[in-house]
């Protein structure tokens, strides 16, 4: 059960860590909320997007705020296991014992960030899989039980190789992170400059507190949403998203963690917002968002809902259609500059976001299809 002590921890986590990071990092509320979800659920988060979108800075600041041990590494095709897991202890090797020096390396971290994940080569791939699956690192007869709460990873492309697809599958939560829109630039520059000068935010929340909250996930009552969730899983599969039975069960941890983060011991329909982040390919993001919007819309405004379950003001489908018509007409201009094309693509991406919240299911699917085709045409 989520008791009064847990609610106090949730409250402090929200005020002192989550809200503080949202104030400092403009336009990154979604990522901050997903970091907290991943840590409480004990699952891993993959961030897909270009460099320079504050992915590592967010995770580092979150870890610092909760006094968590942090490890970060940029993977290349030539990265060696020693660089991530630690070198062999040469003193003990001379004594005939193979031991790893893990101080400051991944095996001692509670928060791990691996940049350019899909550069992982075969030399470290199997080790990463055991870290993600079992929270264990093995070297010879050595077995290290890892204290890691969550592994976070980033890449500006998705995995194509089958071995790397297996690695990607271990990241239950996937979030697409883009550069901020033009209108957010003044706020970004102001907040970014302040961030450069500011020290790390401290909080009364610790990594141990988060671990304790994570222990409450298994105690959440899911009975009232299981039928609704089962139906949603089938609809997700109908979109062509590979959601195996094993994965469907694991996503229930995210549903339960959403409830815990809201101070509840019972999951509700609004906790199904987590399904928005189970996509496999970029083109699935908008249709999946539309599906989840349909699940959440009847429960808009319910108390104690997670912030990411919020539904925006009702979107006018006809107005979105008119704007898509205009964008399609502009896209036919073969003489447009690269800057004009980039601006148009940004507008269409915004239209796709709005289309996902059109109430009528048929209209929503039609508009999402049109915006998806237009985004492909614009490159």
Q: Which of 8-12, 139-143, 195-199, 268-272 has the lowest mean pLDDT?
A: 195-199
The predicted-structure confidence for 37-56, as pLDDT tens digits, reads as follows 999 999 999 999 888 778 88
> pLDDT grade, residue 103 (50/70/90)?
very high
Q: Minimal CA–CA distance to 67: which of 104, 25, 110?
A: 110
Rounded Cα gap, residues 169 and 247, in angstroms = 9
First to last CA, the chain: 49
pLDDT value at residue 52: 78
pLDDT digits (tens, 9 = 90+) for 17-34: 999 999 888 889 999 999
Look at residue 240 and give its three-state secondary structure: coil
Bridge partners (DSSP) of residue 167 are none
Flag whether pLDDT at 3 surpasses 70: no
Residue 144, φ and ψ in degrees, nearest 5: -105, 120
Q: What is the pLDDT of residue 233?
A: 97
Q: What is the pLDDT of residues 167-210, one digit of tens each?
A: 999 999 999 998 755 555 555 455 555 655 566 677 999 999 99
CB atoms within 10 A of CB 45: 25
Element containing residue 48 per DSSP (H, E): strand 45-48
Between 3.30.300.210, 3.30.420.10, 3.10.450.50, 3.40.50.300, what CATH number should domain 4-197 receive?
3.40.50.300
Q: Is residue 189 packed enough to be buried (19+ CB in 10 Å), middle (13-18) or exposed (0-12)? A: exposed
pLDDT at position 180, please? 58
- % of the chain residues with pLDDT over 70: 92
Average pLDDT over residues 286-313: 86
Q: Quick one: pLDDT at residue 174?
A: 97
* Those residues with Cβ within 8 angstroms of residue 114's Cβ, 6 or more apart along the chain or in another chain: 72, 73, 75, 120, 128, 151, 152, 153, 154
- 281 backbone dihedrals φ, ψ, rounded to 5°: -130, 155
| Global pTM value | 0.83
> What is the rounded average pLDDT for all residues in the chain?
88
Start-end of H helices in the chain:
4-12, 19-24, 29-41, 55-65, 81-85, 90-94, 122-134, 162-169, 185-197, 207-215, 226-238, 245-261, 285-296, 317-331, 338-355, 361-378
More confident residue, 92 or 8: 8
Distances (CA, A) of 186 to 52, 181, 342, 376: 17, 10, 19, 29
Q: What is the pLDDT of residues 125-143, one digit of tens each?
A: 989 999 999 999 998 778 9
DSSP character at residue 324: H
What pLDDT score was predicted for residue 353? 78
Q: Which residues pair with 100 in a beta bridge?
A: 88
What confidence tens digit (pLDDT) does each residue in 342-377 have? 888 878 887 887 787 787 778 888 988 899 888 888
Q: What is the model's pLDDT at position 225?
A: 97
> Which whole number is the average pLDDT over 78-86?
93
Q: Poorest-confidence range of 55-59, 111-115, 184-188?
A: 184-188
pLDDT of residue 190: 58
| HSE value, Cβ hemisphere, 13 Å, CA-based, for 244 | 7
pLDDT value for 191: 55
pLDDT in tens, 325-345: 988 888 887 777 887 888 888
Task: List the chain domain ranges.
Answer: 4-197, 218-309, 317-378
**What would the mean pLDDT of 48-73 be, rounded to a whole number?**
91
């Amino acid at each position: 059960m989520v008791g009064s002590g847990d609610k106090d921890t949730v409250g402090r986590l929200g005020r002192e860590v989550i809200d503080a990071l949202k104030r400092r990092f403009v336009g990154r509320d979604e990522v901050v909320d997903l970091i907290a979800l991943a840590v409480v659920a004990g699952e891993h988060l993959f961030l897909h997007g270009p460099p320079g979108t504050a992915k590592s800075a967010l995770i580092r600041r979150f870890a610092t705020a909760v006094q968590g041990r942090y490890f970060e590494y940029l993977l290349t095709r030539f990265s060696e296991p020693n660089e991530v897991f630690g070198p062999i202890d040469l003193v003990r090797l001379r004594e005939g014992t193979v031991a790893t020096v893990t101080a400051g390396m991944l095996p001692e971290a509670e928060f791990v960030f691996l940049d350019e994940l899909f550069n992982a080569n075969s030399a470290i791939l199997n080790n990463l899989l055991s870290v993600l699956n079992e929270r264990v690192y093995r070297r010879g007869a050595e077995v290290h039980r890892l204290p890691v709460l969550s592994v976070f990873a980033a890449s500006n492309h998705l995995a194509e190789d089958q071995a790397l697809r297996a690695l990607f599958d271990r990241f239950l939560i996937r979030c697409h992170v883009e550069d901020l829109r033009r209108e957010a630039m003044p706020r970004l520059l102001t907040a970014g400059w302040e961030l450069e000068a500011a020290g790390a935010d401290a909080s009364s929340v610790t990594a141990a507190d988060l671990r304790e909250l994570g222990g409450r996930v298994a105690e959440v009552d899911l009975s009232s949403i299981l039928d609704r969730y089962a139906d949603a899983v089938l609809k997700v599969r109908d979109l062509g998203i590979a959601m195996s039975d094993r994965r469907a069960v694991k996503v229930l941890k995210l549903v339960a963690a959403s409830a815990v983060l809201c101070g509840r011991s019972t999951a509700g329909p609004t906790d199904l917002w987590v399904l928005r982040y189970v996509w496999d390919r970029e083109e699935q993001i908008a249709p999946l968002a539309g599906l989840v919007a349909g699940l959440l819309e009847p429960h808009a405004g319910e108390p104690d809902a997670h912030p990411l379950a919020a539904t925006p003001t009702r979107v006018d489908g006809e107005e979105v259609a008119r704007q898509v018509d205009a964008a399609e007409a502009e896209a036919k201009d073969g003489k447009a500059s690269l800057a004009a094309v980039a601006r148009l693509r940004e507008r269409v991406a915004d239209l796709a976001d709005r289309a996902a919240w059109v109430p009528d299911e048929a209209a929503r699917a039609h508009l999402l299809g049109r915006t998806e085709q237009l985004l492909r045409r614009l490159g």
